[in-house]
Structure 1
Amino acid sequence: MGSRVRASSIGTNQVPQVEIAAERYRRGLAPLIIATGGVNRHNQIIEGRVFRDLLVERGVPAGVIRVEDQSANTWENVERALPFLREALAAGLAVTAVTKWYHRRAVHVLKTVAPEIGPFHAIGWDPVYSGEVITRHNWPDVPAARRRVVREWDEVTRRVGDGSFATAERSGGVWR
């Protein structure tokens, strides 16, 4: 399936995805990395630019990083990164989204905004809320996490149902 492009994203002020993308670059699995995110509403950083700088600090050459730094939400992350996604696809690269483990909205937005993406991977990471690492196992016990996970599930279910999100199913280890 060709080389991989990592979408370091998709909209957050936490940085585990930077570590994931940098490690994949070092292993030769991510010859192109797309860092996304505009101004973060909590701390005012420009996420895409900060992610780029953190990747460079970790040894990723600036020339392999594409930056989308104008978006305000997941939909805009993907929409504004479309030229970079199309660059990757034209080069024969497979796409892997790197996002919080529960952020399934990112998967559906990728399929909706960029239907030409074909099969793609998603790597989830554990975010920190209220000073606690939130996993697939402990999220119901942390109110800040429970609220986010339930809201995400409800939104994706509703939007797939009303047709505003494309259907995406995981099969054979990839999203289709």
Structure 2
Amino acid sequence: MDIEAPPPSEEPTAHVVFGTNQVQPIDLVAERYHQGLAPLIIATGGVNRHTGIVEGRWFHELLSLRGVPDQAIRVEDRSSDTEQNVEFSLAFIREALSSGLAITAVSKWYHRRTLHALKTRVPEIGAFYGLSWEPVYAGRLVTRAEWPRIPDGERRVVREWDEVRRRVADGSLQPVQKLNGVWS
């Protein structure tokens, strides 16, 4: 389930930050921007059903507070799910690809739908990368090692695995595989 497939340390890529109400991906991407590794950041997410925040706009605000300039940020703020994150960001993703940047998905470590949605909605994506972070649910960090012992973590990881397998099998999501450290 782990999406981690980091780009080479010297390769700048466009970072697609998938919507969430947690701040960890913004800290990760802002740091990478300041290292020269994320020259284009695509912040995605509409209204969060739990908090009411508009994730894409909130990400933009947080990135700005961390010194990332507006010209490096694109915002998608209408989506309500992972596939819409990609669908409503297509112009930005294609902008990145046409400028020669590979794509890096930034999401929870187990959120495989991000990878499949990119491959399904952007068939010309070629090889792409994944950077992940560990979310907090019910006050507990859902790590790669501890998730089976955390009821909310186990529920989320198993649900994601089942959803991805079912959707790849029915053809509504394209399969992806990691070869030589990249997704394709």
The reply to whether TM is greater than 0.5 is yes
Cross-structure match for 1:74: 82
Cross-structure match for 1:161: 169
Q: Number of paired residues?
A: 175
| Aligned partner letter, 1:7 | V
Check the 8 A contact 1:3/1:92 in 2, yes or no. Answer: no
Cα offset, 1:11, TM superposition? 2.0
User: Does residue 84 in structure 1 map to residue 92 in structure 2?
Assistant: yes
| Alignment gaps of 5+ in structure 2 | 1-7
Cα offset, 1:161, TM superposition? 0.8
| Alignment gaps of 5+ in structure 1 | none
Q: TM-score, normalised by structure 1?
A: 0.97
Determine the C-alpha separation between the residues in 2 that align with 1:66 and 1:11: 13
**For 1:114-136, what per-residue CA distance to the aligned partner results, in whole angstroms no more than 9, with x for missing partners?**
11111000011000011011101
Residue in structure 2 matching 1:3, options 8, 12, 35: 12
Cα offset, 1:63, TM superposition? 1.0
Percent identity between matched residues is: 58
User: Does residue 43 in structure 1 map to residue 43 in structure 2?
Assistant: no
Segments of 4+ moved more than 2 angstroms: none
Check the 8 A contact 2:14/2:103 in 1, yes or no. Answer: yes
Cα offset, 1:40, TM superposition? 0.3
Q: TM-score, normalised by structure 2?
A: 0.93
Determine the C-alpha separation between the residues in 1 that align with 2:120 and 2:151: 30
User: 3-state SS of the aligned residue for 2:162?
Assistant: helix
Check the 8 A contact 2:19/2:43 in 1, yes or no. Answer: no
**For 1:72-123, what per-residue CA distance to the aligned partner results, in whole angstroms no more than 9, with x for missing partners?**
0001000000000000000000110110000001100000001111100001
| Aligned partner letter, 2:117 | V
Determine the C-alpha separation between the residues in 2 that align with 1:3 and 1:92: 10
Cα offset, 1:162, TM superposition? 1.0
User: 3-state SS of the aligned residue for 2:89?
Assistant: helix
RMSD: 0.9
| Aligned partner letter, 1:106 | T
| Aligned partner letter, 1:78 | V
Residue in structure 1 matching 2:145, options 137, 141, 155: 137
Cross-structure match for 1:174: 182
| Aligned partner letter, 1:38 | G
Determine the C-alpha separation between the residues in 2 that align with 1:78 and 1:48: 12
Determine the C-alpha separation between the residues in 1 that align with 2:15 and 2:118: 13
Determine the C-alpha separation between the residues in 2 that align with 1:39 and 1:3: 30
**For 1:1-33, what per-residue CA distance to the aligned partner results, in whole angstroms no more than 9, with x for missing partners?**
86311111x121111110111011001011100
